[in-house]
Amino acid sequence: MDKAKDDWWRGACLYEVYLRSFQDTNRDGEGDLAGLAQRLEYLADLGVDGIWITPFFPSPMRDSGYDVSDYRAVDPRFGTLNEFRALTEKAHSLDLRVVIDQVYSHSSNQHPWFIESSSSRNSPKADWYVWADAKSDGSPPNNWLARFGGIAWEWSAERKQYYLHNFLTEQPDLNLHNPEVQDEVLDIMRFWFDLGVDGLRLDVANFFMHDPELRDNPPAALADLPANPYYLQQRLYDRSRPENLPFLERMREVAGDRMLLAEISCDWQVERMAEYTQGRRLHTAYSFEFLGPTLDGNHISRSVEQAGTEDSWPTWAFSNHDVPRVASRWGSERVKVLQALLLCLRGSVILYQGEELGLPQSDVPREHLQDPEAIRFWPNHRGRDGARSPMAWENTPGLGFSDAQGWLPAEPAHAPLAVSEQIDDPSSPLAHCRDMLSLRREAPALRLGEFETVEADTDGLTFWRRYNGQSVLCSFNFGDTPRATPITPNGKTLAGEHAGGQIAPYSYWIAEAAP
């Protein structure tokens, strides 16, 4: 078997398709598999290596599909299993890999497993979810808090016990300490691999296991009170447990060469990324490390060096469906330099839909909010809907997403940045992103090379990428004043520019050293 083909994910760029907002073909205001199939040529022309598709499985949609009620089917709102097969075949014909979301930490409370588990303490699936008795005063088993607000325990009148939910009460946690549940998850993985998927993105993979002793989490040391009390605890016992590691190895045995990409959300994200991708665990992992409010060259340098140990492989993202878009977080004037930086980092990378266009965060009115976190904490926390609004295909009121009213409103500020407005403009963010993706494919050092920091501070970063005799210097200026280049290699410019030994504000220079 071709080793290079087996390792297609190493250094690859995945394009995250937020399916519900990508392209609607059946006029119900929600994106669907047929719509994605129609747009695959656009993604192939962009130059990404594959697509990551957010959940399309049957769901009550309390959390936009991350509350699954059937792991082996397609929700009719998104299409059919045959349409998924056709999509996968077309993607492969265009040399695009297909990665799908899998949510194994929790299910919907409408899943037949949970209905059976909650019916009786003696049911065949009684131990498939995390159940615990109340304390003597009737209070929950411990102090764990839920990500979307409130305590992480919900009372079941049927079982007269509490069940754990790290997110919504409608998202009960599966008990992955139970070997039967692990076996079922592995069988679900085989089901989708048999349908031709090339990889799985594992939602909140560090939430798979909890502390069996149900110990209380200690308080976090915070300078300011957060809007969500969830962040007032150190998450020592409800996630990122060492008991998780053997299960990850079982998953890898089933996956083989088909990629397993973990999402990591915890207090020690970079350390966990390295831990989860060492040895025969997962292939790669990404975290929220670069999805926060601060752009800092020092932080980026330290994180890449720490996560990219010799036997582990990280994945990086600057945007996704859970955080404000990078053009709004870090400034629209930095769109191109951020595209270049992301595509020069060691590891694999994820490009979120619309990031290639430089789309800013949408302003979703309160009456149109869908995100349960936004609804609960408005106006102190605006939630995730602003990153999930319809994709901008055309400069029209509906953005070419749908002929019907979208499940979220189209953002008027996105219309002049639509694909139709940028596709033939060589100076556009879209053209720039396409060029950078091409450069990453053509320069082995950028895709696979080692990472060595030359200089890093708040407003900039310079590093070498080296692989198999090729050395590429990557120097970035995030600031609003010119920046001196610390090194001028005797070679050729690959992208960007420098003049008089300086890089312009919000710009970069990538140069290959002479052999």
In a domain, 470, yes or no: yes
Q: Per the structure, how many domains does the chain have?
A: 3
Res 1 pLDDT > 60? no
Res 164 pLDDT > 70? yes
Please tell me whether residues 502 and 395 are part of one structural domain. no
Angle between helices 269-276 and 297-307 (to 10 degrees): 30
Mean pLDDT of the chain: 95
In a domain, 157, yes or no: yes
Q: Kindly state the average pLDDT of the residues 80-98.
A: 98
Res 2 pLDDT > 70? no
Which of 134, 160, 175 finishes a domain?
Answer: 175
Please choose, from the candidates 432, 434, 419, the residue with its C-alpha nearest in 3D space to the C-alpha of residue 22.
419
β-sheet bridge partners, residue 512: 472, 492
Please tell me whether residues 413 and 325 are part of one structural domain. yes
pLDDT confidence of residue 6: 77
Catalytic choice (101, 173, 198, 203): 203
Both tokens assigned to 137: 């005063």
Please tell me whether residues 196 and 225 are part of one structural domain. yes
pLDDT confidence of residue 5: 65
Write out 188-248 in H/E/C secondary structure: HHHHHHHCCCCEEEECCHHHCCCCCCCCCCCECCCCCCCCCHHHHECCCCCCCCCCHHHHH
Q: If 0-12 CB within 10 Å is exposed, 13-18 middle and 19+ buried, where does residue 320 land?
A: buried
Which of 124, 159, 175 finishes a domain?
Answer: 175
Over residues 296-346, the pLDDT tens digits come to 999 999 999 999 777 889 999 999 999 999 999 999 999 999 999 999 999
Please tell me whether residues 320 and 425 are part of one structural domain. yes
> Residue 457's domain is classified under what CATH number?
2.60.40.1180
β-sheet bridge partners, residue 32: none
In a domain, 89, yes or no: yes
Please tell me whether residues 116 and 189 are part of one structural domain. no
Residue 145: φ, ψ to 5° = -110, 155
Over residues 410-448, the pLDDT tens digits come to 999 999 999 999 999 999 999 999 999 999 999 999 999
In a domain, 443, yes or no: no
Over residues 125-159, the pLDDT tens digits come to 999 999 999 999 999 999 999 998 899 999 999 99
Pairing of strands 284-287, 259-264: parallel
Res 3 pLDDT > 70? no
pLDDT confidence of residue 309: 75
Please choose, from the candidates 82, 131, 75, the residue with its C-alpha nearest in 3D space to the C-alpha of residue 101.
75
Please tell me whether residues 90 and 126 are part of one structural domain. no
Please tell me whether residues 20 and 67 are part of one structural domain. yes
Both tokens assigned to 130: 């995390």
Active site residue 263: yes
In a domain, 211, yes or no: yes
> Residue 422's domain is classified under what CATH number?
3.20.20.80
Please tell me whether residues 211 and 138 are part of one structural domain. no
Angle between helices 244-255 and 269-276 (to 10 degrees): 50
Q: Are the beta carbons of 119 and 147 closer than 8 angstroms? A: no
Please tell me whether residues 266 and 388 are part of one structural domain. yes
79-88, 367-376, 387-396: segment of lowest average pLDDT: 367-376
In a domain, 442, yes or no: no
Q: Kindly state the average pLDDT of the residues 214-235.
A: 91
Please tell me whether residues 201 and 258 are part of one structural domain. yes
Please choose, from the candidates 349, 359, 361, the residue with its C-alpha nearest in 3D space to the C-alpha of residue 436.
349
Cα-based distances in Å from 253 to 158, 163, 260, 282, 417: 38, 30, 11, 10, 44
Q: If 0-12 CB within 10 Å is exposed, 13-18 middle and 19+ buried, where does residue 318 land?
A: buried
Catalytic choice (154, 263, 275, 385): 263
In a domain, 302, yes or no: yes
Q: Kindly state the average pLDDT of the residues 360-388.
A: 88
Domain residue limits at 113 = 108-175
Which of 437, 460, 491 finishes a domain?
Answer: 437
Torsion angle defined by CA atoms of residues 233, 234, 237 and 240, in that order, rounded to the nearest 10 degrees: 130
Active site residue 6: no
Q: Which helix (H) or strand (E) holds 464?
A: strand 460-467
Write out 50-81 in H/E/C secondary structure: EEEECCCCCCCCCCCCCCCCCCCCCCCCCCCH
Please tell me whether residues 163 and 29 are part of one structural domain. no
**Chain centroid, CA 232 distance in Å:** 24
pLDDT confidence of residue 297: 98
Please tell me whether residues 131 and 95 are part of one structural domain. no
Res 81 pLDDT > 60? yes
Pairing of strands 153-156, 161-164: antiparallel
In a domain, 1, yes or no: no
